[in-house]
Chains A and B, each alone.
Chain A
Amino acid sequence: MDRLKIERVGGFAGFGGPHLKSRGEVAVSDLPAADQKTVDSLFADPNKVPAAHPGQADAFSYRITRGAKTIEVPEHAVPSTIKNSVKDVLE
């Protein structure tokens, strides 16, 4: 089954560090068609992953892994279904 592993990193608190993690997983087939299309286009050409807004700071970005490939996408370009799949935990 084609699954996405998602890790949310960055932000004011520095998620992705030793104690703060935010992870999720979702089956591509569970995504709405439009979101599947967005994911496909993001992975098709990582050079076309949208950039962060000029001057932006403390925003989250999402490391999305599909198979052997991982891309990092700024939050504003990530579909809500994927954003909502992560859970913040303290380790």
Chain B
Amino acid sequence: MPCTCCIIPNDVLTRLSQDKKLSAVVRKQLVDTVQVSHELREMRTQAAKLTNVVAARASGMVTLAAAPAVTVYDCKHTQTLPGTPVPKPKTSSDASIKRTFNQTTKVAKFYQQVFNRNSIDDHGMTMMSSIHYGEKYNNAMWNGSQMIYGDGDGSIFVDFTKGNDVIGHELTHGVTQHSLQLAYSGDAGGLNESISDCFGSMFRQWEAKQDVKKADWLIGKDIMGPAAKKKGFTCLRDMANPAAKHCLAPQPTKYSQITPGMDPHYSSGPPNLAFCTACTTLGGYSWAKIGQVWYNSLTGFGPTPNMTMKAFAARTRQGAQTLYPGDATVYAAVNAGWTTVGL
């Protein structure tokens, strides 16, 4: 796939290179920059291909670091990435910076302690986040290399770094990229999104030491702005009740309700409900057994970019039996989860 992002857009460089108010020397340098940028983007595309090849051979690879470095960059309300590096994010006076550093560090700890995973790629790769992205930007995302967080418009949404489930969600997209490599459309897209909601929610519960009964199973509760709350929306998504009226983004509850071309943030409803049902059926902590089954299904078999939900469900049922051969309640809980959504 071609990569076309760049710090200074090509059309700006080209326009400036034609600006006669600039000296001939500067204009030549701008032309040169366009050409160099093209080669850098080609290199980036090749780097992505290298990631895939290396990942397939990961068992023989050397670990980069025992525990990942966590870096934070300040975009200062521009959309230029990665932004200005923050030298000491842990003690920053900027609450977004400090929170992003602390929560990302905790997500790393969560993956290490609960799943024995060393960072996003399981080899200690640096976890990079950019905050204050854009102006009143109502989004958080994973761009294939790093996390990016907007401040929200202060009305519909507040600062996206305020949601620890949001941070867990975005980081998990990186984990998926470095394991199952799910595509972002169709069944695979819904699974991709669901896995991020599942692990984002698990992280939130783990940090609060909540069992499945105490957990609220809400995604985006902490980023709801005053305008959203005033209309009665308490969250973006509800894993326990995907179609609920209090959801800003209500979802289907049955696999049969997913339609072609559906946004993955909506088609994730049924697998979210399956996971939540499996967890609440079994009881205890979500990450203890059902989380392990999901993690094994995500990371134990190599890439399947176009995995169907039916195939993933079968894999988790198999995983429940393989991982917990002496405990039929785990299989029963996983089975109950998928049966609830029609898979």
Quick check: B142 and A17 within 8 Å, CB to CB? no
Quick check: A58 and B138 within 8 Å, CB to CB? no
Quick check: A58 and B233 within 8 Å, CB to CB? no
Interface size on B, residues (CB 8 A): 48
Residue in B11, B249, B263 whose CB lies within 8 Å of A37: B11
Task: For A58, list chain B residues within 8 Å (CB).
Answer: 139-142, 169-170, 173
Question: Does A57 interact with chain B (Cβ within 8 Å)?
Answer: yes
Interface size on A, residues (CB 8 A): 34
Whether A52 contacts B184 in the complex (CB less than 8 A), given A12-B169, A14-B249, comes out as yes
Task: For A35, list chain B residues within 8 Å (CB).
Answer: 11
Cα A60 to Cα B233 with chains together (Å):
22
Task: For A27, list chain B residues within 8 Å (CB).
Answer: none
Question: Does A55 interact with chain B (Cβ within 8 Å)?
Answer: yes
In this complex, what residue of B is CB-closest to A89? B156
Whether A88 contacts B5 in the complex (CB less than 8 A), given A12-B141, A14-B263, A56-B142, comes out as no
In this complex, what residue of B is CB-closest to A54? B48
Residue in A10, A34, A53, A77 whose CB lies within 8 Å of B14: A34
Quick check: A57 and B184 within 8 Å, CB to CB? yes
Task: For B169, list chain A residues within 8 Å (CB).
Answer: 12, 58
Quick check: B2 and A50 within 8 Å, CB to CB? yes
Cα A19 to Cα B245 with chains together (Å):
11
1/0 per residue, CB under 8 A from A, across B148-179: the answer is 00000100110010000010011001101100
Most chain-A Cβ atoms within 10 A of its Cβ — which of B2, B177, B263? Answer: B263
- Minimum CB–CB distance from B202 to chain A (whole Å) comes to 17
Quick check: B144 and A54 within 8 Å, CB to CB? yes
Quick check: B1 and A52 within 8 Å, CB to CB? yes
Question: Does B266 interact with chain A (Cβ within 8 Å)?
Answer: yes
Question: Does B34 interact with chain A (Cβ within 8 Å)?
Answer: no
Task: For B170, list chain A residues within 8 Å (CB).
Answer: 12, 57-58
- Minimum CB–CB distance from A12 to chain B (whole Å) comes to 5
In this complex, what residue of B is CB-closest to A56? B144
Question: Does A18 interact with chain B (Cβ within 8 Å)?
Answer: yes
Taking CB atoms and an 8 Å cut-off, the chain B residues in 164-198 that contact chain A are 166, 169-170, 173-174, 176-177, 181, 184, 192-193, 196
Task: For B156, list chain A residues within 8 Å (CB).
Answer: 20, 88, 90
1/0 per residue, CB under 8 A from B, across A66-84: the answer is 0000000000110110000
Quick check: B138 and A57 within 8 Å, CB to CB? no
Cα A26 to Cα B15 with chains together (Å):
22
Question: Does B322 interact with chain A (Cβ within 8 Å)?
Answer: no
Q: Known pairs A77-B4, A90-B248. 19 more at Cβ < 8 A?
A: A10-B263, A12-B166, A12-B265, A14-B236, A14-B265, A14-B266, A15-B138, A51-B2, A52-B1, A53-B144, A53-B145, A56-B141, A57-B141, A58-B139, A58-B170, A58-B173, A60-B139, A79-B9, A79-B11
Q: List 18 A-B contacts (CB under 8 A).
A: A11-B139, A13-B248, A13-B249, A19-B231, A34-B12, A35-B11, A50-B2, A52-B184, A53-B143, A54-B3, A55-B144, A55-B145, A56-B141, A56-B184, A57-B170, A57-B177, A57-B196, A58-B142
Residues of B near any A CB (own CB < 8 A): 1-5, 9, 11-12, 14-15, 48, 79, 138-145, 153, 156-157, 160, 166, 169-170, 173-174, 176-177, 181, 184, 192-193, 196, 220, 227-228, 231, 233, 236, 248-250, 263, 265-266
Residues of A near any B CB (own CB < 8 A): 9-20, 22, 34-35, 37-38, 50-60, 76-77, 79-80, 88, 90
